[in-house]
Every structure is written in C-alpha cells, then in structure tokens.
C-alpha cells in the first residue's frame, strides 16, 4: 500500500457578506492525504492530548467496509492505523470518534444486522483494543453519526432513525457503560438528519445536520436544553443546490463552527460556517480540491484555528483530506493623532500597530507631502517642511498583514513662522474646529476604531461635559476616528441666535473630519446627555420641558429625545436621535418671565463674525437748551471763510 502525502500552504479568501471590509479571515495552514489503495473516507477527527490527531472512517477491502482508525502526530504524519470488522460479511462504518477521560476513545457508527442497520457505540482503550460495544435499534434503519462524552462520563449520540415514512433526527443519551438514559427525535415535514452533537456550556446540546425543504437540502442547526428539548433552530442555504452540515463545535467565544459542504453547478466544496451564540452567521469559507466532490465530515477548534477532516476526489478515487484553517485577524493601528510643526523644523514619529496573529506588517501612507518619508517596515515617518509648505496636510496611514488592514487619517499642520502658528490642546480647548478660542470652556476628545457592522460608542465621563455618549452603527471600515465635544462659555460663534428657552449647556459636537458623518458611513446616530437636578430645582423647571436643539440650515431644530434614567440625587439622563453633528444646546422650555429674571442675553457677549450686526437704538427726541442763533452764526462764518480762502488761492 502506497501513501501519498501532499503538504502545501495557500492563501484563501474569506467569503463573507462584506469580504472587502472583513476583520477576520480563514487561511489554510497545511493538509495531508492518506491513500489505502481503494476508497478511504475520514468521517471524524479530534486533536488528542499529545497534540496529534485521531481520525476514524472506513476502508474498503473489496468485500465490504471496515472501521478504520488512524492516529497522527501534530503535523499530520501517521503514527498508527487500525481496522475493525464486527461482522465478516457485513458493513461496519464509523462516523465519529472522541478521546475519553481515560485516554481511550469512544467510537460511534452503524453496523449491518442482516436486513437492518443499528446504531453502534464502541469503547476502545488507548492502544486500540475494544472495551465494549452496544447497539441501539429503532423501527427501521438507524445510524449514529456523532458521539461525545458528557460531563457525567456518559455519552450523547446524534444520528437519525427511519419512522417508515421519513427520516428523523435522533438524539440518544447514555450512561458511562452505554445504557440509554433518554432519546428524542426532531421531525420537520421532510427528511431530517443529525450528523453532529456537542454538549454546550449551559449543559444543553448543539446538533448539526440537514433538512429537506422539498427542493434541496439546507444546513440545520438545533439548540436543545439538558433533556433534549429544543431551544432554537436555524438553517443555512448556500444557494439553489444542496448544503449539508456534518460537524459542529461550540467555539471559545460561545459561538459555533459548522463544517459540511455546499454544492455549486459542477461539484461539491468543503464548507465552513462560523456563527455567533444565537446561530447567526459570522463568516463562511469553502475549499475546492479542484476535481470532483470535496466534503468535510468533522471540524474542531484548535489552539490557533480549526482542523477539518473529510475527503477530496482526485478523479480516480477518493482520498482522506485533512485541512488546517487559521483565523486571520486584522491588525489594529495604535492611535497616531494630529501633528503640528513649524516651517523648516523636523517632524518625526513612528506609526505602530498590534496584530493578534503576529503577522509581518507593512505600513504605507497616502498623500504624503513632498519630502516626507515613511519606512514600510518600521513605520518611521520623517519630514522637514520647507518655508513654502505651510498649511494643513491630510495623510491616510495604513497597516496591512498582507490581506486585512487598518488605517487612520491624520492632519499635519505646518505653521508659517512669519505670521504665527495655530494652537491646540485640552483644558479650555482650541479654535481648530472653527469655534472662537475664547468661547471654549472645556474640550473632550475620544477616539475609536471604526469597524463595519459594529456598534460604535464614544463614552464621555468628565464632570464639565453634559454629553454622556455618542453612538452609531458603522457602515464601513474607517480606521481610527475621533469625536470632539466642545463645551462652550456662550452660544456657538458659528450661529447667529441663541437656542430657544433657558439654556443649560451650549456645545459643539463633531464626529470625524468633514465628510465622515454621512449616511454612507454611519447609521442611527444618537447622543446621550445629562441634566443636573439641582439646576432644574433652582430654576423651577419640569424635566419634561428639557430639549436638545441642533443648529442646522440656519435655525435651531429640536431633536427627538427620551428619558433613559436618573440617579437618586444628581442627574437625569436623556437620549436624542440626531441627523448629524454641529452646534447643539441643551435647554428647557420656560415662560418669558423666568427667562428674563434668570438669564442674560448671549448676544451682548458674542464677537463672532457670523453674528448679525447689532441693531442701533432709536434715540428719543428731546428739546435743546442751547441758543439757536449761535449755531446759525457759526455755520455762516465757516462758509465765508472757505470762500475767501479759495479766492486767495486762485
């Protein structure tokens, strides 16, 4: 018997609903085949305590199928293999194996008993010798497709049984010696098959298989409680053709990894689907061996990814196929932040990033100024702007692991030293947003990584800032983006009238740079804010009169707000939906008397160029106490003097 071993590493594109903006992908590590000369199929694999793997399936000896166990080391090289034949002339096929607490193995499958088939459970010790075996007989054909040792040292078996009309999913629970504790079936309107089961962290079970929808097969995932009662179920349809799940495992993030196949117009490909804890898809990837069908029968999470076992068709026969899959996480840039430098002075800094997978990273920059350099390996940036390069520069820095990336757009301000530079910073804030410098009482800036599909939350907790959070849904990857809250002394210098009512706080709120906070980049933006109970009491204000105004299109617009909570003594908390970001005002609707008694008009303080010119008061008409004749005499004297002067000049 010749054994053909093929090991290669290729890069595979993760096929998700948003592949171009994914933050995790699947990458093949290695694969190896085992050829026994005829048809050999691996139906199950598990990583063993010695970091190797145990595979089970079947091998054909030209008479019938025999159980086949193969033990490998950590790189897939064979250590030993064993065959089992319960009945000389009948088929015996194993579909599942697991290493048990005593370092042995529990194997599940089916055995032929004359004209019928029964579920088969076999206990094997660490050297491959049988301890015991037991069968389970339903009404007609019965198959065990997966087994797992449970926390009580018993076993849970998943398979299917025929009820004379159709096939049903079958779940059987046994004790440590193989005696049945309970069994349950799951029946849709058509045929239903269970191929895999695992006990979950909540002592329930996750069952994977497939169900017929009258036109094709769909992957089927069923979650049960500890006694087998259904909690939820979900199907996955890869298209108009068949899709089957043959293996499932709960992952470290409490989601599930499902392996099977998806069928295209020509053949079947290995299919791997990752879900969250509720069964919703996170990503999926398929593997194509090139010729014929390729099917995965088992998957297990390893220390750095997943190990998948099945078979590939090489146009002559089928070979065992072992595929190692690794999740590639996108690198994350460390915050760079905006920079400022004077003309003819050097500016140096290092762009850095972290990568969960320790991949080699490459740094790049778009729109680098003339004369600037960026080391692609170290991320070192260097630039000495000349005397003619004053102004603002926007640079997009990117880090890539060869497949996925992260980026941040920063601004570099080159100060013209002949006319003075610009200033920025915390404390009382700055005028870099367009706000008058002297009007900013406090400035609060938070930065988050914008990832497509995630809920982004900027949380503010400074006492001077009434804004609690700014949240929105990200619609695309955008790197590091900052949200700035400017708490103002008076109304914003960018508006020409005060907000209605009694103002609690004037603010500017900016998310990202100009052009970021649009419907193509974010969705469902909301602002959380608080109002002091002491302020309400002092001014005799009802909390129901609180409003958040946004200034846009030349006027103040009240936003849709709701109360979201309060504490016992200090604050009431509100949330408002907003269509964008600009100057804001938290205010209360009050009658004119209260407004006159408790506020000072902000117009008298504003020095903004955007403010309207003050209206001159009309002076009252009063009687003059002066002598009219004196004024007339003075006028005539000036006129005569002017005429004489002009005549003399001529």
Length of the chain: 650
pLDDT greater than 70 at residue 468: yes
The whole-number pLDDT of residue 612 equals 30
pLDDT greater than 70 at residue 616: no
The whole-number pLDDT of residue 418 equals 52
Taking residues 338-350, report their average pLDDT. 92
Instruction: Tell which CATH architecture fits domain 24-328.
Output: 7 Propeller (2.130)
**pTM flag (> 0.75):** no
Structure tokens that stand for 471 in this block: 């949240």
Taking residues 317-346, report their average pLDDT. 89
**Among the ranges given (18-27, 343-352, 639-648), the one the predictor scored with the smallest mean pLDDT:** 639-648
What does the domain layout of the chain look like in residue ranges? 24-328, 330-422, 428-607
Taking residues 62-89, report their average pLDDT. 76
> DSSP secondary structure string, 289-319?
-SSS-EEEEEEEE-SSEEEEEEEEE-SSSEE
Which whole-number Å values give the CA distances from 625 to 397, 454, 628, 631, 635, in the listed order? 77, 78, 9, 12, 19
Structural element, H or E, at residue 133: strand 130-136
Task: Report the percent of the chain where pLDDT is more than 70.
Answer: 81
Cβ atoms of 168 and 158 within 8 Å: the answer is: no
Which whole-number Å values give the CA distances from 86 to 83, 111, 120, 122, 147, in the listed order? 10, 8, 10, 10, 19
Nearest one of 411, 441, 414, 447 to 426, comparing CA atoms? 441
> DSSP secondary structure string, 420-434?
------STT--STTS
626's CB contacts (< 8 A; 6+ apart) are none
Residue 630 pLDDT class (50, 70, 90 cuts): very low
**Among the ranges given (185-194, 250-259, 365-374), the one the predictor scored with the smallest mean pLDDT:** 185-194
pLDDT greater than 60 at residue 300: yes
Q: Which of 30-44, 69-83, 294-308, 449-463 has the highest mean pLDDT?
A: 449-463
Predicted confidence (pLDDT) per residue in 169-186, tens digit: 899 999 999 999 989 988
Taking residues 303-316, report their average pLDDT. 82
Please give the Cα distance from 136 to 143 (Å, whole number). 9
Taking residues 33-46, report their average pLDDT. 78
pLDDT greater than 90 at residue 145: no
Give the chain's mean pLDDT: 80
The whole-number pLDDT of residue 487 equals 95
The whole-number pLDDT of residue 550 equals 96
Cβ atoms of 550 and 510 within 8 Å: the answer is: no
Taking residues 351-366, report their average pLDDT. 94
pLDDT greater than 50 at residue 296: yes
Taking residues 387-397, report their average pLDDT. 89
530's CB contacts (< 8 A; 6+ apart) are 466, 468, 571, 572, 573, 574
330-422: CATH homologous superfamily? Immunoglobulins (2.60.40.10)
Q: Which of 385-389, 392-396, 414-418 has the highest mean pLDDT?
A: 392-396
Token look-up 């390996």 returns: 377
The whole-number pLDDT of residue 79 equals 82
Cβ atoms of 42 and 297 within 8 Å: the answer is: yes
Match domain 428-607 to its CATH number in 1.10.540, 2.60.220, 1.10.3470, 1.10.150. Answer: 2.60.220
pLDDT greater than 90 at residue 401: yes
pLDDT greater than 90 at residue 423: no
The whole-number pLDDT of residue 68 equals 80
Predicted confidence (pLDDT) per residue in 494-509, tens digit: 999 999 999 999 999 9
The whole-number pLDDT of residue 29 equals 77
pLDDT greater than 80 at residue 412: yes
> DSSP secondary structure string, 333-384?
EPP---EEEETT--EEEE--EE-TT----EEEEESPPTT-EE-TTT-EEEE-
Please give the Cα distance from 66 to 63 (Å, whole number). 9
Cβ atoms of 483 and 525 within 8 Å: the answer is: no
Backbone angles phi, psi at 603, to 5 degrees: -60, -35
The whole-number pLDDT of residue 592 equals 57
Taking residues 262-271, report their average pLDDT. 80
Higher-confidence residue of 166 and 542: namely 542
Higher-confidence residue of 497 and 592: namely 497
CB atoms near residue 201 (< 10 Å): 8
Which whole-number Å values give the CA distances from 26 to 29, 275, 305, in the listed order? 10, 14, 8
């Amino acid at each position: 018997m010749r054994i053909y071993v093929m090991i290669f590493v290729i890069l595979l594109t993760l096929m998700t609903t948003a592949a171009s903006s994914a933050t995790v992908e699947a990458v093949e590590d290695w694969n190896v085949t085992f050829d026994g000369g005829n048809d050999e199929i691996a139906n199950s694999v598990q990583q063993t305590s010695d970091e190797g793997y145990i595979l089970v399936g079947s091998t054909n000896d030209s008479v019938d199928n025999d159980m086949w166990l193969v033990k490998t080391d950590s790189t897939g090289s064979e250590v030993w293999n064993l065959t089992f034949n319960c009945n000389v002339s009948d088929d015996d096929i194993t579909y599942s194996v697991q290493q048990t607490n005593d370092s042995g193995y529990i194997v599940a499958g089916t055995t032929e008993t004359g004209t019928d088939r029964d579920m088969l459970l076999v206990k094997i010790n660490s050297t491959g010798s049988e301890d015991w075996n037991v069968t389970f007989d339903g009404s007609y054909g019965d198959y065990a497709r997966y087994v797992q040792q449970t926390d009580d040292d018993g076993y849970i078996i998943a398979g299917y049984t025929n009820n004379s009309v159709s096939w049903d999913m079958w779940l059987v629970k046994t004790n440590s010696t193989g005696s049945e504790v309970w069994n349950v079936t799951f029946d849709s309107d058509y045929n239903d098959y269970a191929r895999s089961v695992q006990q979950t962290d909540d002592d329930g079970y996750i069952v994977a298989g497939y169900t017929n929808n009258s036109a094709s097969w769909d992957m089927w995932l069923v979650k049960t409680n500890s006694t087998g009662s259904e909690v939820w179920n979900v199907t996955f349809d890869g298209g108009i053709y068949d899709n089957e799940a043959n293996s499932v495992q709960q992952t470290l993030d409490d989601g599930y990894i499902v392996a099977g196949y998806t069928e295209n117009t020509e053949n079947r490909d290995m299919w791997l689907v990752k879900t969250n804890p509720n069964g919703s898809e996170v990503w999926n990837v398929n593997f194509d061996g090139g010729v014929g069908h390729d099917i995965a029968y088992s998957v297990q999470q390893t220390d750095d990814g997943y190990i998948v076992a099945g078979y590939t068709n090489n146009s002559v026969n089928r070979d065992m196929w072992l595929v190692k899959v690794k999740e590639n996480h996108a690198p994350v840039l460390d915050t760079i932040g905006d920079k400022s430098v004077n003309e003819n002075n050097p500016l140096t800094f290092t762009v850095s990033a972290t990568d969960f997978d320790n991949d080699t990273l490459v740094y790049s920059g778009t729109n680098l100024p003339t004369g600037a350099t960026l080391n692609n390996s170290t991320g070192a940036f260097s630039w000495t702007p000349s005397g003619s390069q004053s102004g603002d520069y926007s640079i997009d820095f990117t880090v890539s692991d060869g497949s996925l990336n992260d980026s941040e757009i920063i601004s570099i301000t080159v100060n013209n030293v002949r006319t003075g530079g610009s200033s920025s910073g915390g404390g009382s804030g700055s005028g870099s947003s367009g706000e008058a410098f002297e009007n900013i009482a406090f400035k609060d800036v938070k930065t988050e990584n914008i990832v497509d599909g995630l809920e982004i939350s900027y949380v503010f907790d400074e006492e001077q800032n009434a804004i609690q959070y700014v949240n929105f849904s990200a619609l695309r990857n955008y790197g590091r983006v900052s949200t700035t809250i400017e708490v103002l002394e008076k109304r914003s210098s960018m508006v020409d009238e005060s907000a209605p009512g009694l103002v609690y706080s004037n603010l500017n709120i900016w998310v990202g740079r100009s052009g970021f906070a649009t419907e193509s980049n974010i969705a469902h933006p909301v602002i959380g804010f608080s109002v002091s109970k002491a302020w309400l009491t002092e001014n005799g204000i009802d909390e129901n009169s609180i409003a958040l105004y946004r200034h846009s299109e030349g006027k103040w617009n009240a936003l849709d707000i709701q109360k979201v909570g309060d504490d016992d003594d200090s604050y009431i908390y509100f949330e408002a939906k907003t269509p964008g970001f600009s100057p804001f005002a938290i205010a209360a609707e009050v009658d004119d008397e209260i407004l006159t008694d408790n506020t000072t008009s902000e117009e008298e303080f504003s020095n903004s160029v955007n403010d309207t010119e003050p209206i001159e008061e009309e002076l009252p008409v009063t009687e003059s106490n002066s002598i009219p004749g004196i004024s007339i005499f003075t006028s005539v004297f000036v006129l005569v003097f002017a005429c004489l002067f002009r005549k003399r000049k001529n």
